[in-house]
Amino acid sequence: MTRPVTLFTGQWADLPFEEVARLAGEWGYDGLEIAAWGDHLDPNRGATDDDYIAEKLAVLEKNGLKVYAISNHLKGQAVCDDPIDQRHRDMLPDTVWGDGDPEGVRQRAAEELKNTARTAARLGAKVVTGFTGSSIWKYVAMFPPVSEELIEAGYRDFADRWNPIMDVFDEVGVKFALEPHPSEIAYDYWTTQRTLEAIGHRESFGLNWDPSHMVWQDLDPVGFLWDFRDRIYHVHCKDTKRRLNGRNGRLSSHLPWADPRRGWDFINTGHGDVPWEDAFRMLNAIDYQGPLSVEWEDAGMDRLVGAPEALAFVRRFAFDAPAAAFDAAFSTKAQPNE
């Protein structure tokens, strides 16, 4: 089974949805992971408006594309974050920001996540990808000293806020795929394990595997696939290049993307340090059958160059497992009768 290769539209939301669909279709993508911002998708409207859903599906069909997943990373971030501040004001619509009262922002973001599940079901997408936010990410340095009780409270806060959201996902038959990522409740191996425990290993709550966030943390992205193989619901193809040279630090010194003093940068798929061939072989081993979604994030390469190049790279390396073992021909059972 050749897995579909899709384009994540999050970094293209400054362009009209129809234009992004046209480009993706011309390049040869199989479908889109549609971002719920810009004009690409309004989950609140999509949850109830039949004509709106039909319009989106018509654009996809016109360009030979399908929708395999919806992303609502930006609103998901606001569900658990503390503090809620200017960063959120800059990325949230007025319908979620409201008067800016932090708890009101969190509650409105949670309601939009519920509608995202409903919209996904109406579009025929089985997965919503996204972030959860975190009330305890701010304690990551563990200084000033942080008690275990405070950390536990953060995981309880996550579960209390996300279990009602996941009830709606269960109702409509859609899965949520959290992208382990710094600033989320799950950002590495052990916090991912703890997050799944906190939410009771709900079947509808899984993971969006994006190795670009693992490489710069010195995590093994391939081993991560194996250990969490029953929870890999979606895959992002994005890369990272490390430049840890003794001056450039892992925390990157508050420097902008592509600054040569950074310790690492996101980079177009195939140009960085992700072991892609091993990863694709592992995806075969765990029988992952979902899409491979190209996420273009490269401050040093134009996206009109990067997106088609990444597609070609993924198609070249994401080969299927063989239909039969190579040594099957050695069996005497395969020999003609003498």
What three-state secondary structure class fits 106? helix
pTM of the model: 0.95
The domain locations on the chain are 5-334
Residues 15 and 23: their CA atoms lie apart, in Å, by 11
Give 179-198 pLDDT, tens digit per residue: 999 999 999 999 999 999 99
**Other C-beta atoms lying within 10 Å of the C-beta of residue 164:** 12
Return the DSSP state at 136.
S
Residue 294 bridge partners (DSSP): 7, 237
171: Cβ contacts below 8 Å, ≥ 6 apart: 117
| 5-334 maps to CATH 3.50.50.60 | no
What is the percent of the chain where pLDDT is above 90?
93
- Give pLDDT tens digits for 46-100: 999 999 999 999 999 999 999 999 999 999 999 999 999 999 999 999 999 999 9
Q: Could you tell me which of 217, 233, 140, 218 has the C-alpha nearest to residue 179?
A: 233
pLDDT for res 293? 98
Position 336 confidence tier, pLDDT thresholds 50, 70, 90: low
CA dihedral of 108, 109, 112, 113, whole degrees rounded to 10: -140
Q: In this predicted model, what pLDDT tens digit does every residue of 189-236 receive, in sequence order?
A: 999 999 999 999 999 999 999 999 999 999 999 999 999 999 999 999
How far apart CA 278 and CA 317 sit, in angstroms, is 10
For 292, the 3-state DSSP assignment is strand
- The distance in angstroms from the start CA to the end CA of the chain is 37
| Residue pair 239/272 in contact by the 8 Å Cβ criterion | yes
pLDDT band for 2, please (50, 70, 90 cuts): confident
Band of residue 330 on the pLDDT scale cut at 50, 70, 90: confident
Identify the band that residue 242 occupies on the pLDDT scale cut at 50, 70 and 90. very high
Give strand pairing partners of 8. Answer: 33
